[in-house]
Structure 1
Amino acid sequence: MTDFNDRERAFEAKFAHDEELQFRIIARRNRLLGEWAGAKMGLTAAETDAYAKAVVQADFEEAGDEDVIRKLVGDLTSAGVEIDEPTVRTALEEQEVIARRMFIEPQA
């Protein structure tokens, strides 16, 4: 019975680790996405940093990426940047790849 309990605990620990890693990747992706959008809007370094934090915070409003995408499209459009939703979705996917590499690939 101990072997089964050990396997169960190991599975639960791996699940918790994987969930935490995914959370960190998404948070980093959103930060990178905020920095990308800040550059497009011509924000200063301090404004870009604050905006990136706001994008990370926006992801907590509802499940999924729709809240982040709506925020970015709205903010970029309000700032006079010509952008559409598919462009933001592409940027989101690109930033997720970068974020995943930051956490998963070994540091040289």
Structure 2
Amino acid sequence: MTTFDDRERGFEAKFAHDEDIAFRIAARRNKLLGQWAAAKMALTPEETDAYAKAVVQADFEEAGDEDVIRKLMGDLLAANVEIDEATVRQALAEQTVEARRQLMESK
């Protein structure tokens, strides 16, 4: 039984590690998305920092990326930035790659 218990603990540890990495990538991606959107809205550096944090917080509203996309679309359109949802989704994909790269480089 010990071999199976050890194997189970190993799988649980790997699952926990993978979930932690996924969370870190999503949080970093959302921060980068906030900075991207802030640049489009011509925010000051202080406003950019606050906005990036707000985008990270928006991701906790519901599972998936729709809450972040809704926030970005609403804020960009409110700031009179001409943008469509496809562009925001493309930025989300690009920032996901960048966040993963940054996280892997930091290790």
Q: Deviations over 1:28-55 (max 9, x none)?
A: 0000000000001000111000000000
1:80 partner SS: coil
Give the deviation of 1:104 after TM superposition: 2.6
How many residues end up aligned between the 2 structures?
Answer: 107
Note closer, same or farther for the CA distance 1:35–1:106 as it changes in structure 2 (3 Å cut): closer
Specify the alignment match of 2:27 in structure 1: 27
1:87: which partner in 2? 87
Letter in 2 for 1:62: E
Deviations 1:28-85 (A, max 9, x none): 0000000000001000111000000000000000111111101101100111110010
Q: CA deviation at 1:105?
A: 4.4
State how far apart, in whole Å, the 2-side matches of 1:18 and 1:47 are.
33
Cα gap change, 1:46/1:106 in structure 2, threshold over 3 Å: closer, same or farther?
A: closer
In the TM superposition, structure 1's runs of 4+ consecutive aligned residues that sit over 4 Å from their partners are none
SS in 2 for 1:62: coil
* Structure 1, gaps ≥5 residues long: none
Looking at structure 2, the residues matched to 6 and 103 of structure 1 have their Cα atoms a distance apart, in angstroms, of: 29
Instruction: Name the structure 1 match of 2:72.
Output: 72
The alignment-based identity, stated in percent, is 75
In 2: Cα distance, 1:83 partner to 1:39 partner: 13
SS class of match (1:48): helix
* Structure 2 residue 60 is matched with structure 1 residue 60: yes
The gaps in structure 2 that reach 5 residues or longer are: none
> What's the TM-score, normalizing by structure 1?
0.95
TM-score scaled by structure 2? 0.96
